[in-house]
Structure 1
Amino acid sequence: VLLLLHLVAFERRSALRYVPLSPSDLALVVAGFAARQIALTDGRRGGASAELSEDLARGVHVDVLIAVLLVALVAHCRAKSLGASGRTSAALVLIAVLRGAGLWLRVMSPASASQSEVILDGLFLAVVSMDLAVAKMASRELHPSVVVMAAMVVVPKMQWIGLGLASIYFTGVFWDLMHHTNLPLLQVCRNAYCDGIYDLCHVGHKNAFKRAAKLGHRLFVGVVGDEDANNYKNPPVMSAAEREAEVAACRCVSKVIPNAPCFGLTEEFIRKHNIHAVAFGQEYLDRFPNPDDDPYYKAPRKMGIAVPTPRTQGISTSELCKRILTRGEVERKSPT
């Protein structure tokens, strides 16, 4: 049922709903449990062979559910008019055929099915469900490797190959998530930092964010408060809350630190926010070659975590303000 829920969510490109979808879904669950009960009842009637039949029933039950579920999913996918992809439907059909072949070989085999085989069959079903969920979130189709996994575990007693393939699959999924979210899995998460007033936030500021973000996995941006900003340069056009909201809207910014220090970044502030790298303008390095003379970035430079970044030429907040002040009266182009 969970696999069916994921498929419907994939078709609709919507969130997963943990409720029964239709009477056919409930009928599918009832049929699965009925098949299991029949298999176990037949096993008990066999007397001495009851233990063997129960073991076999567990494996057959899982395979029957997998095959019936996948076939029902394909029929459901074909019947829906919600834009289901033909490639995903074809992949599910192929998986159902391959699992059906494995089921037939399992039933015809005189040996009993072990609990490990049952667990590995369930693991394969979990992979299919997860890939449908990932496909929905990533707006892609069912991954071809899932079909390859179905083909590799058809032969009885070879399900351990599926365990290795499932391990590779889950590792690949987590690696992709780690790469696209820029969050490390087996290493320390580095926090990069840059600060400024960011009045009338423009492309120069955003370029600085992009360069600073490359220094770590997360970017913390300190926004100077109104009082310090008034003492540093001309009073900003935007309030501190407006500037903080503008910076927070930038995609590469993970966190905004309000009321950041303007006149001297301290070691205490750096350790409090767990900062590993500080990006600062190249002009400060040119103006203060000796770190002891730098009134703004003395602490991070002496700590060895300061990295100079180039300035975007041709644009600044002061330049934008000058353009506004020197601009003539705008000619009305319409009565309104």
Structure 2
Amino acid sequence: MFDRTKELLDIPLEKIALFRHVAPESLQGIIDCCGIRTLERQETLLFPEQVNRELYVLLSGRLRIHLQDPQSEPIAYLAPGEVAGELSVIDGYPTSAYVIADEDSRVLVMEQELVWSLATVSHAAAYNLLTMLSGRLRNANRCIGEKMLQEHAYHSYGTVDALTGMHNRYWLDEALTRMVHRASRSRAPLCVLMLDIDNFKEFNDAHGHLSGDRAIHTVAQTVLESLRPTVMAARYGGDEFLVAIPDVAVETALEIADRLRQKVAATEIPHLAAPLPPLTVSIGVTGIVPGQSAEEVIAAADAALYRAKLLGRNTVSS
């Protein structure tokens, strides 16, 4: 009954996922109506947006699947016995991926009508189709999950300053704008602190850039460890930091700033031989005025920082 099958197929029927546990009488006539297609290495079998009405059973060789383009990393490889094109055959929509021969291959070609005929006469074949679809969906979910984690990691790299662990200027520009707008709309207080390390250039010149990086990291960590989780802190640039504290008046913000100043002044800078003496910071404090933009708030905090520097450094000013 399967003389032609034995002649054409390179693997036993039970090794083909679609035919597993299907009664021989259900396959009678089906395979005789199928064609065989030979693919050369790198030949494309399916491509995105292609209208497809055929299911392909891999008989020999190997196929690979790409979601974006043929040069992207394959999301899966198909071995003999596995199938391609089943999604578009079942739902009638164009294909959504590239299927390319990774080496010289042979595929059994089943027309859409043959697939449905087989699923109709054989519960085992219908079950096999569902199982294959489930596998495809699980693989797709895995790929989506990995992509989301990757995008989250890329986003983190783009918004976190590598040296300090604080948010960076890119993140600050968006976040502070939202905070200022929200506070202005609700008439809630919001204070902004601008911190600058005193005499940092002299420290950097005297102890080297590596010690300078350690100093920036130490000051940043001291600031982060001294603030509540709801307080926003970011590296503004170089040896400057910005802190935004919601729901506090300027008087309270000045007290917080002075505690930060004292904490930084009491923290030694790690060094290979022995810790280096602590650095100090000058801090400018401002409260937002309804209608101010984020840029205007930063300018006001920067002006307050300048006044703190004029007062002799290691001090706080509003």
Q: Normalised by the size of structure 2, how large is the TM-score?
A: 0.28
The structure richer in helix per residue is 1
Q: Which has the higher contact order (CA 8 A, sep 6+)?
A: 2
Q: Normalised by the size of structure 1, how large is the TM-score?
A: 0.27
In our comparison, the structure showing a higher alpha carbon Rg is 2
